[in-house]
Amino acid sequence: MKRSSARPPARLFAEPDSAGDNRPSYIAQIDGAARGNPGPASYAVILRGPDGSPLDSLGKYIGRTTNNVAEYYALIAALDAAAARGIRRLRIRSDSELLVRQMKGAYKVKSADLKPLHERAQKAARAFEFFSIEHVPRERNHEADALANQALDRISSAPPASGRDYRAVRVRALVEAGKLVPAQPLDFAEGEEVIVTIEPARRKPS
């Protein structure tokens, strides 16, 4: 029988020990952070060459979300950054056991927020010639962790810009003639746009 010369499809999680593939690969350390669950969140990526030398790094604030969503944002950002550089072989290192196990198929993705992110990450990962993802202890991922927290620190310490304010203020208000009238003064500039979440106050029993 004549053997086909076509190259088999890349194994998504072909670890070098089991696949016998020890060729040099690029490395991406990733981390997601959220202060609260949900709360202000960010992610970080540190891309390294096969020799471990840093090539690029990114820390970005992504708004209010959960830590798990932030971890997926970090993974997708790493995949996109590697693909943009033409990298074909990539190893991901993350201290999120949930992310790693979900990507490897050991855990099911039940969260509606995570499912589309998981699908996008899986699709992007399959485009690489070689891809692996590894869980590492937090102390071995401290650089990515610090970068993600720096992104949060910049937001929390920065003054409001372009009419935006990241402070969360809880106030009581009365409804009068179809309008909300705050029961206390608000520390916002005139004409500033804010987001209001309304919930009825509990009434005291009569």
90, part of any domain: yes
186 lies in some domain:
no
The two structure tokens encoding residue 114? 């995570």
- Category of 123 on φ-ψ map: left (φ > 0), alpha (ψ -120 to 50) or beta: alpha
The fraction of the chain above a pLDDT of 90, given in percent, is: 62
Residue type present at position 96: S
Asked whether residue 193 carries a pLDDT value surpassing 70, the answer given is no
The answer to whether 117 and 68 have CB atoms below 8 angstroms apart is no
pLDDT at 101: 98
Q: What is residue 15's predicted lDDT score, i.e. its pLDDT? A: 46
pLDDT reported for residue 105: 96
Q: Is the pLDDT of residue 7 over 50?
A: no
Range of the domain at 76: 16-157
Q: Which long-range contacts (CB under 8 A, 24 or more apart) does 175-179 make?
A: none
206 within some domain: no
**Domain membership flag for residue 174:** no
Q: What mean pLDDT comes out for the span 84-101?
A: 97
pLDDT in tens, 29-54: 999 999 988 999 999 999 999 999 99
Domain CATH code at residue 146: 3.30.420.10
How many domains does the chain contain in total? Answer: 1
pLDDT at position 1: 46
Q: Residue 180: which pLDDT band, with cuts at 50, 70 and 90? A: confident
Which pLDDT value is given to residue 203?
A: 57
Percent of the chain with pLDDT over 70: 71
Is 1 part of any domain? no
Task: Report the distance separating Cα 100 and Cα 136, nearest Å.
Answer: 10
**Is a pLDDT exceeding 90 seen at residue 79?**
yes
Q: Decide if 33 is inside a domain.
A: yes
The confidence score (pLDDT) of residue 162 equals 46
Is residue 193 in a domain? no
Confidence of residue 158 (pLDDT cuts 50, 70, 90): low
If one compares 104 and 170, the residue with the highest pLDDT of the two is 104
52 within some domain: yes
Q: In Å, how far are 29, 31, 52, 175, 199 from 56, measured between CA atoms?
A: 11, 15, 12, 52, 45
pLDDT at 4 over 90: no
What is the per-residue pLDDT across 108-141, written as a single tens digit (0 to 9) for each? 999 999 999 999 999 999 999 999 999 999 999 9
